[in-house]
Chains A and B, each alone.
Chain A
């Protein structure tokens, strides 16, 4: 399984540590206000857990150490792209790094090197 890290290009999955589904944004800490219990429950524990295309956090632990969100299919393991985790929940997030289309320059370099 190859993962298109937005920073490093296509890299083998052994370099990454999966860290669970990206289904809800992290709630704001809110200072002294009482924490929003249901929002944290939703973020920490509850999952749609689909048998379909999903979004999943990965840490590029043996690479650039970026946190990214990988777009994968849970029935076929097909990887269709990745986004920097910092950008994933932004409304105007940049285009995802894909394996088939819109390859990043880094991804092409990585492929050329093989």
Chain B
């Protein structure tokens, strides 16, 4: 266990001036051929490579990343981990993912700082209470946990919430106790290190510029560091799904949108849980460093720019102050935007494609972070065995054509409804 970041290693390194640390992963040159290539060195790609090696014994794997590891959405999110979903197609998967989160630091030998501090979805009407009661029952039936809180429960759990707001009075909330947040970069680094130690080649600054298909079967990829052969290629490229899919001639049900997130200055502990505003789309938690981390919905227009516009900033701040008035005294530190791969029904796609040997992991909308371990677990199984686990049976690519959509919001299955 010499290269674990455990107590004895820390103590030993402390005594010799921290001179013995080595890079956490290798920087290999790409080989001419691999059994499996994963395009995208973000959370999902790295998790997929890790579980391919750990669960399925497939270690001749390359993860190709055009930038640096974990430089995309896994480093640009609000780090919320939960499984409070209504539909079977979602809750089965996210509950599997949450269970993996609970053991992740031990499994990786790397502290991902998963903090099950609970999430509370606050509601503001009788009908919203009915809907959340139904969702809570669904969650319990699928093995997740849920507690219905009344107004006094919200006052007790999150005293800074404006419970008596005259416009949006709080009626209560649906609480998932096992939900929480995690350290986003550590998740990427932990999976990267775990995959590397099992023999996976993590190749950075390697952009895929073409996908070679012969007779309907993938045979390899073209990159800026030369061609690499592989009979199985998995795509986990989030916001760039359409662009990479096009390299294989696919036209996919994805639109790319910008989602902004915000962090305030560091504060003393003021918010214990993750809480969400039911009268607008807004969620807020407090990081371990003390900053309030929050966000809301998409800007609404298509974008690859990784930055948003000011009208949405204003909207988010209005929601923040309506929900937690104390936020009006807080100074904002920074905001940023990430590119979301939006699917028509707001639920993800983990499936084979019409091209033999090409696998798709996409459509994470704004919920990809919590899915990271589950996505890697299920996607690696799909790639290794050519069949889905029961968690992802409904996350099909063709579901928009067949009508078997996973319409979590009940809003319909068209772009721009989520």
CB of A72 within 8 A of CB of B301, answer yes
Q: Are A49 and B256 in contact, with the CB atoms below 8 A?
A: yes
- A44 and B311 contact, CB distance less than 8 A: no
Are A74 and B415 in contact, CB atoms less than 8 angstroms apart? Answer: no
Residue interface bits A14-29, CB-to-B below 8 A is 1, else 0: 1001111100000000
Tell yes or no: B300 within 8 A of A by CB.
yes
Within the complex, the shortest CB–CB distance from A15 to chain B, in Å, comes to 10
Whether B254 sits at the interface, judged by CB under 8 Å, is yes
Q: Would B416 and A48 count as touching, CB distance under 8 A? A: no
Task: Please determine whether B301 and A75 come into contact, CB atoms closer than 8 angstroms.
Answer: no
Whether a CB of chain A sits under 8 angstroms from the CB of B242 is yes
Assess the B256–A74 pair: CB atoms within 8 A.
Answer: yes
B415 x A45 contact (CB < 8 A)? yes
B68 within 8 A of A: no
Residues of B within 8 A of A76 (CB): 305
Inter-chain CA distance A18–B415, complex, in Å, is 11
Residues of B contacting A18 in the complex (Cβ-Cβ under 8 angstroms): 300-302, 416
**Is B252 close to A, CB under 8 A?**
yes
Q: Within residues 248 to 297 of chain B, which ones have a CB less than 8 A from any CB in chain A? A: 251-256
Is chain A's binding surface mostly helix, strand, loop or mixed?
mixed
A49 and B414 within 8 A (CB): no
A96 to B246, CA, bound (A): 28
A91 within 8 A of B: no
**Chain A residues, CB < 8 A from B311:** 12-14
Chain A residues touching B, range: 20 to 34
A72-B303 Cα distance, complex, nearest whole Å: 9
Main secondary structure on chain B at its contact with chain A? loop
- Cβ–Cβ contact B305 & A75, under 8 A: yes
Q: Is residue A50 contacting chain B, with contact meaning CB distance below 8 A?
A: yes
Q: Are A21 and B401 in touch, CB under 8 angstroms?
A: no
Q: With contacts A17-B300, A18-B300, A75-B304 known, is A47 near B255, CB below 8 A?
A: yes
Are A56 and B305 interface neighbours, CB within 8 A? no
Is the Cβ of A44 less than 8 Å from the Cβ of B416?
A: no
> Contacts A37-B401, A41-B400, A51-B243: A46 and B251 contacting too (C-beta < 8 A)?
yes
Chain A residues closer than 8 Å to B304, beta-carbon distance: 51, 74-75
Q: Is the CB of B415 within 8 A of A21?
A: yes
CA distance A48 to B240 in the complex (A): 11
The answer to whether B414 and A44 touch across the interface, beta carbons within 8 angstroms, is yes
Contacts of B344 in A (CB 8 A): 44-45
Partner of B305, one of A42, A46, A54, A77: A77
Partner of B416, one of A12, A20, A42: A20
Q: Kindly list chain A residues whose C-beta atoms are within 8 Å of the C-beta of B240.
A: 51
For chain A residues 50-73, which have a beta carbon within 8 Å of chain B? 50-51, 54, 56, 58, 72
The answer to whether B309 has its CB under 8 Å from any CB of chain A is: yes
> What does the 1/0 interface line of B389-418 toward A look like (CB < 8 Å)?
000000000001100000000000111100
| A74-B302 in contact (CB<8A) | yes
A33 within 8 A of B: no
- CB atoms of A21 and B243 under 8 A apart: no
With A13-B311, A47-B251, A49-B255 known to touch, is A19 a contact of B242 (CB < 8 Å)?
A: no
Specify the chain B residue showing the minimal Cβ separation from A49. Answer: B242
Report chain B residues within 8 Å CB of A77. 303, 305, 309
- Beyond A13-B311, A41-B401, whether A47 also contacts B305 by CB under 8 A is no
A20 close to B242 (CB less than 8 A): no
- Specify the chain A residue showing the minimal Cβ separation from B398: A41
With A14-B311, A20-B414, A77-B309 known as contacts, the answer to whether A47 contacts B253 (CB < 8 A) is yes
A74 and B305 form a contact (CB under 8 A):
yes
Residue on B nearest A14 in the bound complex, by CB: B311
A48 CA / B251 CA spacing, docked (Å): 6
- Is the Cβ of B309 less than 8 Å from the Cβ of A1? yes
In the assembly, what is the distance between CA of A46 and CA of B245, in Å? 12
18 chain-A/chain-B pairs, Cβ below 8 angstroms: A18-B300, A18-B416, A20-B255, A37-B401, A41-B400, A44-B400, A44-B414, A45-B414, A46-B251, A47-B242, A47-B254, A49-B242, A49-B243, A51-B256, A74-B302, A74-B304, A75-B304, A75-B305
Q: Name B's A-contacting residues (CB within 8 A).
A: 240, 242-243, 246, 251-256, 300-305, 309, 311, 344, 400-401, 413-416
